Amino acid sequence: MSQLTTVDATFLNAETGTTHAHIAGLGIVDAASCPDGRLTVGRVAELVRNRAHLAARPLRQRLVQVPFGLDRPYWEDDPDFDPERHIFEIGLPAPGDDRQLADVVAMLHEQPLDRSRPLWEMFLIQGLLGGRTAVYVKVHHAAIDGVTAAETLAALLDLSPEPRDVPADETEPARAPRPAEMVRAGLLNTAMHPVRSVLSVARAAPYLDEIPGLSAIPGVGLVSSVVQGALRRREVPRAPRMSAPPTPFNQPIGRRRSVACGELPLDDIKQIRRGLGGSVNDVVMALCATALRQWLDKRGELPERPLVAAVPVSLRRRGNRGDGGNQVSVMATRLATDVPDPADRYVAVRRDMDRAKRRFTGSSGSWVQDMSGLLPAPVAGALTRLALQAAPAMSLRPINLIVSNVPGPQFPLYLCGARVLGYYPISVITDVTGGLNITVFSYDGKVDVGIVACRELIPDPSEIVDHLVDALDELRELAREALEERALKERAVSGE
């Protein structure tokens, strides 16, 4: 038995008629390698049934609400858990191309999850060209973060076509407290909430300028610096003032979604890193900066100021398993979309990312946990939704979009004997974070790109994928020139 953390509960509270807080992945598998040449609901359900206990919370635990909404909900094992209630099969009409698949995935991503049972669903999408099958899985963010998502994938996937032996489940089912106990704990937590809120504000005060949106307010940086000085934390770099400019995708979002997927060679990205310096993540951010610059410029909507991106970061320490709820934070950075020269743009992205990382390292990024617990549970849901809905009307725009880079295994994985050819993450959009989300996942020599957007604002995000490919070509040429120039200098030095 465990209770949702304040961050977990925030993902629940943030849901509205246009915002759903589930995250998803789209796996493409070679179904021909399955027994009988087909991936079936029964086979996948049996796999989940046998391995659900290996995964962290999401697969078999459901929410239990506290009476009168006095406190955050609890998790317990669903006594009626049946994987086949969560797994569905649909077919694409001929020809079964990638555009049809993207439209189906967008439609599935628009639908909320049923909170009366474990918060996940899986769809086997048959009929893809080339004998492939798509596996779309969505899980509520209240139940999962990046680490637990990786653990869940590891529980279900194998390193070879032959499934591994799995130990039997010998754990006792987790049960939520009795209603009277939940009410008693809820009343106590409500009574203690003012004290906890004061402590949360005190912990967050030195890092107010790190919170997207607040850093643009005059005086916030000075307040943070003064508090840091009083606490003798002068080693923490000062966060730059960032103001997200208006864009076509920073408007109130609708119910509909659009989805696009693509892939980039990881070796090319590593070559760019070797030629131009920085990290793989720096290259990914620079590619996104160039792609968004091209997309906006093509529409005559390129702002004079750089876009501001939020980059999710895990707070889990190495060796800490995926329990204890969401342990995530966010760092904000400029994307240098205002820089016309590609080489200068790359340098600017590297500089801004380095500054954001140094600032994040110095502050630990704990402000997300601190700020998520400011509101008492009985009113947190209503006030959170009100704030999210009011933000667009008040032109509050802390960031332009979320860009996330998730490292994955560089070897093939298998689902029920079928090789996983690609895995494309599909994440969340909101009125506050923008109607566009770009998430990439490195897998088996590729960087798989998943883009989700508000259909009313970006009807066809595949155009952004095309721009990412163009941006890769551009940076690859710059890296080639840099490597050749470096080699010439080395030969000249050795010749001397």
Classified as helix, coil or strand, 374 is coil
The answer to whether 239 and 359 have CB atoms below 8 angstroms apart is: yes
User: Rounded CA gap, 208 and 225, in Å?
Assistant: 10
* DSSP labels, 32-82: GGSGGG---HHHHHHHHHHHGGGS-GGGTEEEEPPGGG-S--EEEE-TT--
Locate 450 and state its tokens: 């998943």
Locate 279 and state its tokens: 């990290």
Helices assigned H by DSSP within 277-408: 280-298, 342-363, 367-372, 377-393
Burial of residue 277 (number of CB atoms within 10 Å: 0-12, 13-18, 19+): middle
Task: State the distance between the two ends of the chain, measured CA to CA, in whole angstroms.
Answer: 71
Across the strands, what pairs with 308? 334
How many CB atoms lie under 10 A from the CB of residue 123?
A: 21
Q: Could you tell me the sign of the dihedral formed by the alpha carbons of 303, 306, 307, 308, in that order?
A: negative
Establish how many alpha carbons lie within 13 A of residue 135's alpha carbon, considering only the half-sphere containing its beta carbon: 25
The answer to whether 91 and 127 have CB atoms below 8 angstroms apart is: yes
Concerning whether 141 is annotated as a catalytic residue, the answer is yes
User: Rounded CA gap, 51 and 78, in Å?
Assistant: 15
User: Rounded CA gap, 199 and 371, in Å?
Assistant: 11
Burial of residue 495 (number of CB atoms within 10 Å: 0-12, 13-18, 19+): exposed
User: Rounded CA gap, 143 and 59, in Å?
Assistant: 9
User: Rounded CA gap, 157 and 421, in Å?
Assistant: 13
The answer to whether 189 and 377 have CB atoms below 8 angstroms apart is: yes
Establish how many alpha carbons lie within 13 A of residue 261's alpha carbon, considering only the half-sphere containing its beta carbon: 26
* Active-site residue identified among 20, 140, 141, 467: 141
Locate 435 and state its tokens: 């109607």
What positions carry a catalytic annotation? 141
